[in-house]
Amino acid sequence: MPAGVRPILELQEITKAFGGVEALRGVDFALSPGEIHGLVGENGAGKSTLMKIIAGVHSDFSGRFILDGRETRFRSVRDAHAAGIAMVHQELSVAPDLSVAENVFLGNQPTNRFGFVQWRRMAREAGEQLKRFGIDVDPMSRLGDLPIGLQQLIEIARVLFSGARIIILDEPTSALSPPEVERLFATLKRLRDEGTSIVFISHFIEDILRVSDVVTVFRNGRKVAETRAADTNKPALIEAMIGHGREALEETYTHDIMLPPPGEKPVVLNASGLSLARSLRDVSFDVRAGEVLGIYGFMGCGQLELARILFGKLKPDQGSLAIAGKQKAFRSTAGARRAGIAFVPESRRDMLFHQEPVYKNISISVLDRISSLLLKPSREREIASRQVEQLRIRPAAVDLDLGMLSGGNQQKVALAKWLSYPPRLLVLCEPTRGMDVGAKDDVIHIVRDLRAKGLAVIVLSTEPETVLSLADRIIVLKRGAVVREFSNERISKDRLLEAA
């Protein structure tokens, strides 16, 4: 951007606290017309909070909010929409029961002069827009029937083509396959050239550097750096994010790593011939004590369903599970837990009790071990405190409501609940999604620690780095079937992506 262009949006001295915990402290932020502005920072650094202020989600903050040179203040998301600001949130928010076209035009369906929806026009325009974005689907099909990755793309498309002049994307690429990311970036650049301002939040620093004009770094509720993307590089950004030289943590796995030979320890879980409707076809594998099995595949490859079968939430149409050699058919998740299986789903919202204190979140899965009839709150707090300390959960206050913690810390709590009485088999879905470098590193250490203690671990992820950093053995799922197993051989990100 040429210097001296007046910013379309300017925030000054923004401070925002949640229940006494300051998420933003005196942050200045400016967005120029026709720029892609990358935001990086660890979890809880304040990026999402700032963007939610811009999008009208949070209305009580202190500081000045200047749009088009005039000080203003949104009271709701609707105000922000009216001002031409739209945001794609980290978590999917679509209407699965409506058609693709209705989702694309959610909130501003084309109507004729009598106020009736013009279905044909809506379907045609939705189809055209999605095609420009490289998505070729029937606009009248039900959105919920499409793979999750595609749903996310459609949600992004809705916001991109809503005509908004400021678009905020919070972690848009986490669920997308590489070609989908390419298409997204091409579209973003075209919109920028047409004059739209875009804010792009991501943990993938390469993505930020590739697509942004300007990059702002947040740390601990403050803005610590703002620079042109061309003038910086990945190590410098990581250094700014973390505060000291920890860039070695960010493994890129472009080089080969060596998977160890299979161990001789006993098989903890054997799955054979698992099939489920359209999601899974004849999936068989086993996992041994002291081993981490990685299951990799693109979004919609059947991982989520597989994980839910392992934890007794879904019943397979065919196939069977054996725990330590004994056939098991789980009738509920409680049965799976009693058989020694622990499960962390990919979405924190599905895993945690946001209105309850941290200690209740941690003790819930082990309550029957520490109390038969009456609760023992002091014992619960003790167990929780130990986990909080071991997993370095911050703030280290077990009586704080879970909702007050940042995303990465919440994710650690989701893991902590299983560790007081270690299970035999730990099933982790996307254990590092949306986590910053430091928290990822913590999780990797926790998992390695558990493996050393003899636990069997299954890690399911759509992020190659996650699988590569954790797994001893990797199987690749494609459209519900196992297409490749990597064991006792050299592997790199390229080869893994190639197999999927």
Partner 1 sequence: MTSGESVTVPAPDRKRPHRLAVMLRSQMRNIAPFLTLICLFGFFAAASPSFATLDNLGNILTQISVTGIIAVGLTFVILCAEIDLSIAAIANVTGIAVAYFTLQESYVNIANVPMPGWAAILLALALCALLGLVNAFGLTVIGIPSFIMTLAMMQIAAGISALLVRGQIAYKVPPLVTTLGSTSIGGIPWIVIVAALMLLGGHLVLTYTRFGRYVYMVGGNREAAEYSGLNVKLILGSVMVISAVCAGIGGMLGVAHFGSAQQNEFDTYLLDSIAAVVVGGTSLFGGRGGIGNTIVGLFVLGVLNNGLDHVNIDSFLKILIRGLILLAALVINVYAQRLRERTAE
343 binds partner 1 (CB under 8 A): yes
145 binds partner 1 (CB under 8 A): no
Nearest alpha-carbon partner for 199 in 346, 425, 11, 64: 11
Query: One-letter amino acid identity for 20?
Result: G
Nearest alpha-carbon partner for 406 in 47, 15, 11: 47
Determine which residue in the list 12, 333, 487, 492 makes contact with partner 1, applying CB under 8 A: 333
Judged by CB under 8 A, the chain residues 52 through 71 that form the site for partner 1 are: 58
> At closest approach, how far in Å is the CB of 278 from partner 1?
22
Cα–Cα distance for residue pair 273/338, rounded to 1 Å: 23
CB nearer to partner 1: pick between 210 and 386: 386
Nearest alpha-carbon partner for 209 in 225, 231, 190: 231
375 binds partner 1 (CB under 8 A): yes
Cα–Cα distance for residue pair 448/439, rounded to 1 Å: 14
Cα–Cα distance for residue pair 227/232, rounded to 1 Å: 7
Determine which residue in the list 396, 485, 489, 498 makes contact with partner 1, applying CB under 8 A: 396
Please name the residues in contact with 273: beta carbons below 8 A apart, sequence gap of 6 or more.
282, 283, 284, 318, 319, 320
> At closest approach, how far in Å is the CB of 171 from partner 1?
18
Q: Phi then psi for 453, rounded to 5 degrees?
A: -80, 0
CB nearer to partner 1: pick between 219 and 473: 219
C-beta separation of 258 from 83 below 8 A: no
Determine which residue in the list 12, 15, 22, 236 makes contact with partner 1, applying CB under 8 A: 22
In this structure, the number of other CB atoms found within 10 A of the CB of residue 273 comes to: 13
Q: Which two structure tokens, joined as six digits, stand for 322?
A: 């054996």
404 binds partner 1 (CB under 8 A): yes
360 binds partner 1 (CB under 8 A): yes
> At closest approach, how far in Å is the CB of 404 from partner 1?
7
Q: Which stretch binds partner 1 (CB under 8 A): 195-203, 330-338, 430-438, 464-472?
A: 330-338
Q: Which stretch binds partner 1 (CB under 8 A): 106-114, 139-147, 199-207, 362-370?
A: 362-370
417 binds partner 1 (CB under 8 A): yes
SS3 254: coil
Nearest alpha-carbon partner for 29 in 50, 10, 2: 10
397 binds partner 1 (CB under 8 A): yes
Please name the residues in contact with 153: beta carbons below 8 A apart, sequence gap of 6 or more.
133, 135, 176, 180, 184
48 binds partner 1 (CB under 8 A): no
Determine which residue in the list 231, 373, 378, 452 makes contact with partner 1, applying CB under 8 A: 373
How do 214-219 and 36-41 pair as beta strands? parallel
> At closest approach, how far in Å is the CB of 346 from partner 1?
11
Cα–Cα distance for residue pair 308/292, rounded to 1 Å: 18
Determine which residue in the list 260, 403, 421, 449 makes contact with partner 1, applying CB under 8 A: 403
Name beta bridge partners: 223.
218
20 binds partner 1 (CB under 8 A): yes
CB nearer to partner 1: pick between 214 and 404: 404
Give the DSSP H or E segment for 219: strand 214-219
78 binds partner 1 (CB under 8 A): no
C-beta separation of 475 from 282 below 8 A: no
> At closest approach, how far in Å is the CB of 225 from partner 1?
22
> At closest approach, how far in Å is the CB of 68 from partner 1?
28
CB nearer to partner 1: pick between 210 and 313: 313
248 binds partner 1 (CB under 8 A): no
Q: Which stretch binds partner 1 (CB under 8 A): 152-160, 256-264, 368-376, 476-484?
A: 368-376
> At closest approach, how far in Å is the CB of 324 from partner 1?
18
401 binds partner 1 (CB under 8 A): yes
- Is the backbone peptide bond immediately before 395 cis, with ω within 30 degrees of 0? yes
CB nearer to partner 1: pick between 312 and 480: 312
Q: Is the dihedral of CA 317, 318, 322, 328 positive or negative?
A: positive
Determine which residue in the list 110, 286, 353, 392 makes contact with partner 1, applying CB under 8 A: 353
21 binds partner 1 (CB under 8 A): yes
> At closest approach, how far in Å is the CB of 62 from partner 1?
12
Name beta bridge partners: 21.
18
Q: Which two structure tokens, joined as six digits, stand for 310?
A: 């392992």
> At closest approach, how far in Å is the CB of 336 from partner 1?
7
Per CB under 8 A, residues contacting partner 1 are 17-22, 58, 311, 313, 332-334, 336-338, 342-345, 349-356, 360, 364-365, 367-368, 371-375, 394-401, 403-404, 417
